[in-house]
Amino acid sequence: MAETTDKTPKKSFFKGLKSEFRKIVWTSKEDLVKQTVIVVVISLIMCALITAIDSVVLEGINLLVK
């Protein structure tokens, strides 16, 4: 059988949730901005790379079909 406690499940859940939130380490604003810029730059580079590869493959297919 399960153990019974005098606490309700809701109180126990929220108490555990509160203790877990205390363990969170938030990044500083400077680090967040740096990481965001890096993600945006890498995304743009990947977009350009995928576009270039797609264009080359499309042209190659068009040459084969014609």
For 8-63, the DSSP string reads: -HHHHHHHHHHHHHHT--PPPHHHHHHHHHHHHHHHHHHHHHHHHHHHHHHHHHHH
Q: Which residue has the higher pLDDT, 3 or 60?
A: 60
Residue 1 scores a pLDDT above 90 = no
Task: Give the global pTM.
Answer: 0.61
What is the sign of the dihedral through the CA atoms of 9, 11, 14 and 15?
negative
Tens-digit pLDDT profile for residues 39-54 = 999 999 999 999 999 9
